[in-house]
A and B are shown apart, each in its own frame.
Chain A
Amino acid sequence: MPTADPSSVLVAHRGDTAAAPENTIPAVQAALVAGARFVEFDVQLTADEVPVVIHDERLARTAGVDRSVHDLTADELASIGVRMPGSPASDGVAIPTLDAMIGVIRLAPTVTAFVEIKRSSLRRFGRTVVVDRVSPPLAAAPTQVVVISYDAGAIRETRERLGRRIGWVIERWDDTSRVEAERLAPDFLFADRRTLRADDTPLWAGAWTWVVFDVDDPADARRLSQRGVTLFETRTFAATAAAFREAGP
Chain B
Amino acid sequence: MNDAETLWLTIDQGGHASRVIVYDPRGEPVATAAAPITTVRPGPDRVEHDGEEIVRSVRTTLDAVASTLGTDTRRVQAAGLATQRSSVIAWDRVSGTPLSPVLSWQDRRAAAWLAALPAHEPPIADTTGLVCSPHYGASKLRWLLDHVGSVQHAAAEGRLAFGPLASFLLHRLTRERPFLVDPANASRTLLCDWRTGTWASSLLTHFGIDPATLPQCVASRGDFGSLDHPDLGGVPVRVMTGDQSAAIFASGVPAPAQTLVNVGTGAFVQRLTQVPPDTAGGLLRSIVWRDDTVTHFALEGTVNGAGAAIDEVAAMVGVDPADAIRRLPAALDAATPPPLFLNGVGGLGSPYWRPDFTSRFIGEGATTERLAAVVESIAFLLAVNIGVIEATLGPTATLLVTGGGATLDGLLQRLADLTGRWVERPAEREATTRGLAFFLSQSRAWTASPVERFSPGSNPALHDRFARWQRELDAALADTGESESTPG
A109–B420 contact, CB under 8 A? Answer: no
Q: What A residues does B396 contact at CB under 8 A?
A: 33
Asked whether B41 is an interface residue with its Cβ less than 8 Å from the other chain, the reply is no
A108 to B395, CA, bound (A): 9
What are 19 A-B residue pairs whose CB atoms fall within 8 Å in the complex? A24-B458, A25-B420, A25-B458, A29-B421, A32-B420, A35-B394, A97-B467, A99-B464, A100-B460, A100-B466, A100-B467, A103-B466, A106-B387, A106-B470, A107-B383, A107-B387, A109-B391, A140-B471, A140-B474
A28 to B466, CA, bound (A): 16
A109–B388 contact, CB under 8 A? Answer: yes
Q: What 3 A-B pairs are tightest by C-beta distance, nearest first?
A: A29-B420, A103-B467, A100-B463
A106 to B397, CA, bound (A): 19
Closest residue to B467 on the A side, CB-wise? Answer: A103
B419–A29 contact, CB under 8 A? Answer: yes
Asked whether B153 is an interface residue with its Cβ less than 8 Å from the other chain, the reply is no
With A24-B458, A26-B456, A109-B388 already in contact, the answer to whether A103 and B281 are too (CB < 8 A) is: no
With A33-B395, A107-B384, A108-B387 already in contact, the answer to whether A96 and B419 are too (CB < 8 A) is: no
Q: What B residues does A100 contact at CB under 8 A?
A: 460, 463-464, 466-467
Asked whether B65 is an interface residue with its Cβ less than 8 Å from the other chain, the reply is no
A-contacting residues, B374-407, CB 8 Å: 383-384, 386-388, 390-391, 394-397
With A100-B460, A107-B419, A109-B281 already in contact, the answer to whether A137 and B467 are too (CB < 8 A) is: yes
A103–B391 contact, CB under 8 A? Answer: no
A103–B463 contact, CB under 8 A? Answer: yes
Asked whether A59 is an interface residue with its Cβ less than 8 Å from the other chain, the reply is no
Return the CB mask of B448-468 against A: 1 if under 8 Å, else 0.
000000001110100110111
With A96-B463, A99-B464 already in contact, the answer to whether A33 and B421 are too (CB < 8 A) is: yes
Asked whether B169 is an interface residue with its Cβ less than 8 Å from the other chain, the reply is no
B-contacting residues, A62-101, CB 8 Å: 78, 93-97, 99-101
Task: Give me 11 other A-B pairs in contact (C-beta within 8 A), A102-B467, A140-B474 excluded.
Answer: A29-B421, A35-B394, A93-B458, A95-B460, A97-B467, A100-B466, A107-B383, A107-B387, A107-B418, A109-B281, A137-B467
Q: What B residues does A101 contact at CB under 8 A?
A: 463
Closest residue to A82 on the B side, CB-wise? Answer: B458
With A35-B395, A109-B281 already in contact, the answer to whether A78 and B460 are too (CB < 8 A) is: yes
Count of chain B residues with a beta carbon within 8 Å of a chain A beta carbon: 28
A78 to B337, CA, bound (A): 15
Closest residue to B351 on the A side, CB-wise? Answer: A109
Q: What B residues does A25 contact at CB under 8 A?
A: 420, 458, 460, 463
Q: What A residues does B419 contact at CB under 8 A?
A: 29, 107
A94–B460 contact, CB under 8 A? Answer: yes
B467–A30 contact, CB under 8 A? Answer: no
A25 to B457, CA, bound (A): 9
Asked whether A34 is an interface residue with its Cβ less than 8 Å from the other chain, the reply is yes
Tell which of B387, B464, B470 touches A140, judged by Cβ atoms closer than 8 Å: B470
Which of B388, B394, B467 has its CB near the most chain A CB atoms (within 10 A)? B467
Closest residue to B466 on the A side, CB-wise? Answer: A103
B474–A26 contact, CB under 8 A? Answer: no
Asked whether A104 is an interface residue with its Cβ less than 8 Å from the other chain, the reply is yes
Q: What A residues does B466 contact at CB under 8 A?
A: 100, 103
Asked whether A195 is an interface residue with its Cβ less than 8 Å from the other chain, the reply is no
Q: What A residues does B421 contact at CB under 8 A?
A: 29, 33
With A29-B456, A32-B420 already in contact, the answer to whether A99 and B467 are too (CB < 8 A) is: yes
A140 to B474, CA, bound (A): 8
For residue B386, give the distance in angstroms from its CB to the closest CB of chain A. 7
A-contacting residues, B456-488, CB 8 Å: 456-458, 460, 463-464, 466-468, 470-471, 474
Closest residue to A35 on the B side, CB-wise? Answer: B395
Asked whether A110 is an interface residue with its Cβ less than 8 Å from the other chain, the reply is yes
